């Protein structure tokens, strides 16, 4: 029983570390655990109405980090539990509590890198586990801060492009000839970066805006309108640039279909995404 408990605790820790690695370093897009947490938070926000959707992104990221730390506490507590209280030394005036309470306490203290030393495991190899947990706790906290620093530059790129396209797509700002082709190529390049951000930092999809001028879905709708207008241009350079933008927009919608369940059909996808977008109020 003790061995099984230790194995279960170690598996929980490894699952969390794998999820953190995939989420922060993107070898597989995102972690399975973080993806489920973000999806669940988004589903709840959508049920509550349009306004709560604006908070879905920050809440999803915060909840994911809390789940990581909670599971690390539980995992290491299960590793400590077979050793407590009989195989541990307690500081002066520290009563020996129940095994579960002491295991959770020791795990929280170690993960928070407090190093109080009032409960020390007797087994030499177990004494090494506590500083390892402290190192992992510090690493995950640092990684979580780095994760946030990755998200907001991605959001800034998306918001800037949305505002630029919103202004550039207006009738009185359309550039003639070569200037329009250069503009379309610039939007294609910027939209490619947005697609990469959606793949690497998929949680950015759940960050919705109060202001539709800087939001993702209106950006996609505007770009689709631009493609429809410019693909038939008599200027070959403009038409070629519009086709390039069309391909990138198609890839963006494929990513939304594969990762977030948007419809595969472009028209239907844009319609459903627009219906889910928070209202500007």
Tens-place pLDDT, residues 130-169: 889 999 999 999 988 989 998 999 999 999 999 999 887 6
Instruction: Tell whether 36 and 132 lie within a shared domain.
Output: yes
The answer to whether residue 260 is domain-embedded is yes
Instruction: Tell whether 10 and 134 lie within a shared domain.
Output: yes
Range of the structural domain that residue 198 is part of: 151-276
The answer to whether residue 238 is domain-embedded is yes
User: Of the residues 127, 143, 159, which one is the last residue of a structural domain?
Assistant: 143
CA distance 10 to 210: 43
The answer to whether residue 73 is domain-embedded is yes
Instruction: Tell whether 23 and 99 lie within a shared domain.
Output: yes
pLDDT of residue 29: 56
CA distance 221 to 225: 6
CA distance 193 to 50: 27
Instruction: Tell whether 162 and 240 lie within a shared domain.
Output: yes
Instruction: Tell whether 35 and 54 lie within a shared domain.
Output: yes
Instruction: Tell whether 128 and 13 lie within a shared domain.
Output: yes
Instruction: Tell whether 111 and 21 lie within a shared domain.
Output: yes
Q: Which of 203, 194, 205 is nearest to 262 (CA)?
A: 205
User: Of the residues 94, 113, 143, which one is the last residue of a structural domain?
Assistant: 143
Name the pTM for this structure.
Answer: 0.83
* Mean model confidence pLDDT for the chain: 86
The answer to whether residue 281 is domain-embedded is no
pLDDT of residue 214: 93
pLDDT of residue 172: 47
Q: Which residues of the chain have pLDDT under 50?
A: 172-173, 281
Q: Count how many domains the chain has.
A: 2
3-state secondary structure of 201: coil
Query: Residue 137: which residues within 8 A CB-CB, separation 6 or more?
Result: 69, 72, 110, 111, 112, 113
pLDDT of residue 253: 92
pLDDT of residue 277: 67
């Amino acid at each position: 029983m003790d061995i099984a408990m230790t194995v279960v605790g170690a598996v929980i820790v490894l699952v969390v570390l794998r999820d953190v690695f995939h989420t922060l370093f993107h070898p597989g897009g995102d972690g399975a655990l973080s993806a489920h947490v973000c999806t669940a938070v988004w589903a709840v926000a959508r049920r509550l109405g349009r306004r709560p959707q604006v908070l879905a992104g920050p809440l999803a990221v915060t909840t994911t980090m809390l789940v990581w730390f909670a599971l690390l506490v539980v995992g290491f507590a299960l590793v400590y539990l077979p050793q407590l209280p009989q195989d541990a030394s307690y500081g002066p005036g520290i009563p020996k509590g129940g095994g579960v309470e002491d295991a959770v306490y020791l795990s929280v203290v170690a993960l928070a890198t407090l190093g109080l030393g009032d409960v020390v495991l007797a087994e030499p190899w177990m004494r090494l586990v506590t500083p390892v947990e402290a190192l992992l706790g510090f690493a995950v906290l640092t990684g979580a801060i780095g994760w946030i620093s990755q998200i907001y530059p991605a959001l800034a790129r998306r918001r800037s492009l949305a505002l630029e396209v919103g202004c550039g797509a207006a009738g009185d700002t359309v550039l003639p000839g070569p200037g329009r082709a250069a503009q379309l190529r610039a939007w294609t390049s910027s939209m490619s970066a947005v697609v990469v951000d959606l793949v690497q930092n998929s949680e950015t999809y759940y960050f919705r805006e109060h202001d539709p001028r800087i939001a993702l879905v209106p950006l996609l709708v505007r770009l689709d309108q631009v493609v429809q207008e410019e693909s038939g241009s008599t200027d070959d350079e403009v038409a070629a640039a519009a086709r390039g933008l069309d391909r990138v927009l198609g890839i963006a919608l494929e990513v939304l279909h594969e990762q977030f369940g948007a419809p595969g059909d472009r028209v239907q996808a844009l319609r459903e995404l627009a219906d889910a977008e928070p209202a500007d109020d």
